[in-house]
Amino acid sequence: MQSPVLVGIAGYGYWGPNLARNFQQLQSAALVAVCDPDEDRRCDLATNYPEAAAYAGFDEMLANERLDAVVIATPARSHHKLAKAGLLAGKHVLIEKPMATSADECRELIELAAAGKLVLMVGHTYLYSEAVRKLFEIIASGDLGEIRYINCQRLNFGLFQKDINVAWDLAPHDLSIILRVMGRMPTTVNCQGGAHVRAGVEAVTNVSLGFDEGAFATVQSSWLEPRKVRQMTFVGTRKMVVYDDLEPHGKLRIHDIRVDCPPRYNSFAEFQYSYHYGECRIPHLEQGEPLKRMCEHFVECVVHGREPETHGGHGLEVVRVLEACGESLSAGGGPVVPGMAG
């Protein structure tokens, strides 16, 4: 039997415990250490996982434990520094989203992982959800036709971050899905936002992505919304899909709806749109925690030396779009071409 992959987690705040639970439950992995400078968080760890070693510092954990892999679940500003230290120490690395706070930081991590033949994966958790996998399957089958427009809303009250704005916090989820569906980078990015709570940190952002051939996507992210909303609409030339992640049943609804223009007409009076209203289909989805699949996938990639679905290059593309959002915000919402270097 294969010996378990030994995992250490950096950051045991809100999200770290979810990662700890999932790695702990995997037969193929063992949670051996966690580090967090916050003493209360380490006490909580000791209560829940007494067998895991607790450290205040990342370097201390790296120096003292025989780890195969490290998982970075700290605030975004520390992702690059910790991931770099992990890769330089020869560890496989899973970084929570966003991969880092600049495209250059992402590129350095990708190079280090390649040089060390190490797995570098980004925690774009939604790409491991059954609903999103089914969505990709439906789109790949051609059932929707050509994707013309995507609209996303990810809204809730808080949790306010200090180091990154709401686009860097919430939009990576939407962007990771959009980029996979479109299979290409946007040609232009516009972003407007409002820093209504903390100066310089936008709590509300609206992002527009223009793609070649006229396709278009909008991403609305907010920490200032009384409702929790997690919705995406995919409009194709033949059908449309609404993905509502908060629906316990029927997360995906495929609407057989479209509008056709008349192929030929001679006068304005002859011009008639043809509205097609067909059925709405709700595909069956298997139950399962996306984070569990993500952790399993990471361990499989480490064991078999495979490239993860959400590899460093994918994380870099998301960060390139987020960087363009920052440039557009500074330019009052004007169009920005995302950085060209791969």
Where do contacts with ligand NAD occur on this chain (CB under 6 A)? Answer: 10-16, 35-38, 41, 58, 73-76, 78, 82, 96-97, 123, 125
For the beta carbon of residue 272, count every other beta carbon within 10 angstroms: 10
Cross-strand partners of 209: 189, 217
Residue in 181, 192, 118, 187 with CA at minimum distance from that of residue 147: 181
Name residues whose C-beta falls within 8 Å of residue 114's C-beta, 6 or more positions apart in sequence.
Answer: none
Min dist. Cβ of residue 75 to ligand NAD (A): 5
Least distance CB 162 / ligand NAD (angstroms): 9
Q: How far is the CB of 112 from ligand NAD (least distance, A)?
A: 18
What 8-state DSSP symbol labels residue 120? Answer: E
Of the two residues 11 and 338, which places its CB atom closer to ligand NAD in the complex? 11
Residue with Cβ nearer ligand NAD (215 or 294): 294
Taking each helix axis as running N to C, give the angle between helix 16-25 and helix 290-304, from 0 to 180 degrees, rounded to the nearest 10: 60
**Is the CB of 68 or the CB of 245 nearer to ligand NAD?**
245
Shortest distance, CB of residue 170 to ligand NAD, whole angstroms? 9
In the complex, minimum distance from the CB of residue 331 to ligand NAD, in angstroms, rounded to a whole number: 26
Angle at 129 between CA 233 and CA 51, to 5 degrees: 145
| Strand-pair category, 5-10 with 69-72 | parallel
CB of 237 to ligand NAD, least distance (A): 32
Task: Report the SS3 class of residue 255.
Answer: strand
Q: Are 19 and 295 in contact (CB under 8 A)?
A: yes
Residue nearest to ligand NAD (CB): 13
Pair 8, 65: CB distance under 8 Å = yes
The closest alpha carbon to 304, from 117, 130, 125, belongs to 117
Q: What does residue 282 show for φ and ψ, rounded to 5 degrees?
A: -115, 105
- What tokens appear for 319 in the block? 């960060």
If the CB atoms of residues 68 and 96 are measured against ligand NAD, the closer one turns out to be 96
CB-based contacts of 181: which residues, under 8 Å, 6+ apart?
135, 136, 139, 147, 150, 234
Other residues' Cβ atoms within 10 Å of the Cβ of residue 64? 12
125/190 with CB nearer ligand NAD: 125
Nearest residue (CB) to ligand NAD, 82 versus 217: 82
Minimum CB–partner distance for residue 241 and ligand NAD (Å)? 21
* Comparison of 76 and 181: residue with beta carbon closer to ligand NAD: 76
| Nearer Cβ to ligand NAD (15/136) | 15
Q: Least distance in Å: CB of 47 to ligand NAD?
A: 15
